[in-house]
Structure 1
Amino acid sequence: MKNSKISERVTELRNRKGFSQEVLAEESGLSLRTIQRIENGETTPRGDTLQRIAKGLSVTSEEIIDWKLEKNDSYLAMLNTSALSFLIFPLLGILIPLVMWISQKNKIHGIDRSSRKILNFQITWSLVLFLSIIGYIGGNFYRVNQSSLISPSLLINPLYLWGTIVLLYFINLVLVVINSVRLKSGKNVSYFLGIPFLK
């Protein structure tokens, strides 16, 4: 975004809050001169400065940067739906949404927030799937090594593993479909499961 656009947005948000430049400087912990330079379009806030201004205005940095970006709920829904590629191979559910995010980063409003939530869920899901399989194999290996007899009765019932895998695939499928519908109708994604690897 050009300096003038960011400066307009900061000024607009500051005025909406009823802040003077001095108050924004105090709330953000920046100097008055820095606020003036940003609002005059002389400099573009990045990194820590952008975060401080956003915090001072009680908004997210995305709300400052993304306000003029294209709103494309269809693309966000398609990005989310691309996670269904986990049905072909689990890691594709991470790679394809990641490529789609990177290709449209800083072009579509809300893409960063949605992509992070989608990818955090898919990474978490893949880890749980992987750990379930490793746990099953490791459990059987341990049981066999603890016994002098090699007997099928020593092995953990494979139905436990298959039941876990079917449940994991079902949860992933349902959440991707629900969130694709949410995005298509202009709502935010809601993945209640997922470790925030990407913040």
Structure 2
Amino acid sequence: MEIINQNIALREDRQLLVITHLTQYLYFVTGFGGLIVPLVLWLANKDAVHRMDEHGKSIMNLQLSIILYVVIGIPSILLFGLGILLLIFAGILALIMPVVNAVKASNGESPSYFGTIRMIA
């Protein structure tokens, strides 16, 4: 049987979007929750909440970029001595960008993470 017209009503839940952005701070509490919790929230609600897919992809791109910056930055400290700048950049991104985009999500705007590598399109 083929479904010709499938109208799925997505709910508008800005509070969940804000919470999803702010759960990135779990890195500072648990060390790993900043990737796992937003990933679970995104996968569970991407088809039910309006704009959750867009915000979830942006969050995952930021988290994967920070992990990549840290993985590259630590050996670069020993090799070149300039890796500390990359680690400082990653730390600033991890501290500031979730709050900025949580405010944007609260206002109904699209997320924009500066300095992220778009791994998930």
- Number of equivalences: 119
Equivalent residue in structure 2 for 1:111, among 52, 56, 80: 52
Tell me if the contact between 2:39 and 2:56 (Cα under 8 Å) persists in the aligned partners: yes
2:50 partner letter: H
Instruction: Tell me by how many angstroms 1:126 deviates.
Output: 1.2
1:101 partner letter: W
2:5 partner letter: S
For the pair 1:171 / 2:112, whether they are aligned, the reply is: no
For the pair 1:93 / 2:34, whether they are aligned, the reply is: yes
Give the distance between the partners of 1:85 and 1:122, measured in 2 at CA.
12
1:99 partner letter: V
Tell me if the contact between 2:69 and 2:87 (Cα under 8 Å) persists in the aligned partners: no
Q: TM-score, normalised by structure 1?
A: 0.52
Give the distance between the partners of 1:83 and 1:177, measured in 2 at CA.
10
Q: TM-score, normalised by structure 2?
A: 0.82
Of the two structures, which has the highest relative contact order with CA contacts closer than 8 Å and spacing of 6 or more? 2
Give the distance between the partners of 1:88 and 1:165, measured in 2 at CA.
19
Give the distance between the partners of 1:198 and 1:167, measured in 2 at CA.
21
Q: Unaligned regions of 5+ residues in structure 1, if any?
A: 7-64, 141-155
| Bigger radius of gyration among the two | 1
Q: What is the identity percentage for the equivalent residue pairs of Structure 1 and Structure 2?
A: 21
What secondary structure sits across from 2:5 in the alignment? helix
Instruction: Tell me by how many angstroms 1:197 deviates.
Output: 1.3
What secondary structure sits across from 2:6 in the alignment? helix
Q: Unaligned regions of 5+ residues in structure 2, if any?
A: none
1:181 partner letter: V
Match of 1:77 in 2: 18
Once the two structures are superposed, the pairs formed by residues 1-199 of structure 1 within 5 Å of their partners are: 3-6=4-7, 68-88=9-29, 91-137=32-78, 139=79, 156=81, 161=84, 164-199=86-121
What secondary structure sits across from 1:4 in the alignment? coil
Give the distance between the partners of 1:132 and 1:165, measured in 2 at CA.
6
Instruction: Tell me by how many angstroms 1:181 deviates.
Output: 0.7
Give the distance between the partners of 2:73 and 2:17, measured in 1 at CA.
31
Report runs of 4+ in structure 1 exceeding 4 Å deviation.
none
Instruction: Tell me by how many angstroms 1:90 deviates.
Output: 5.2
Give the distance between the partners of 1:136 and 1:169, measured in 2 at CA.
15
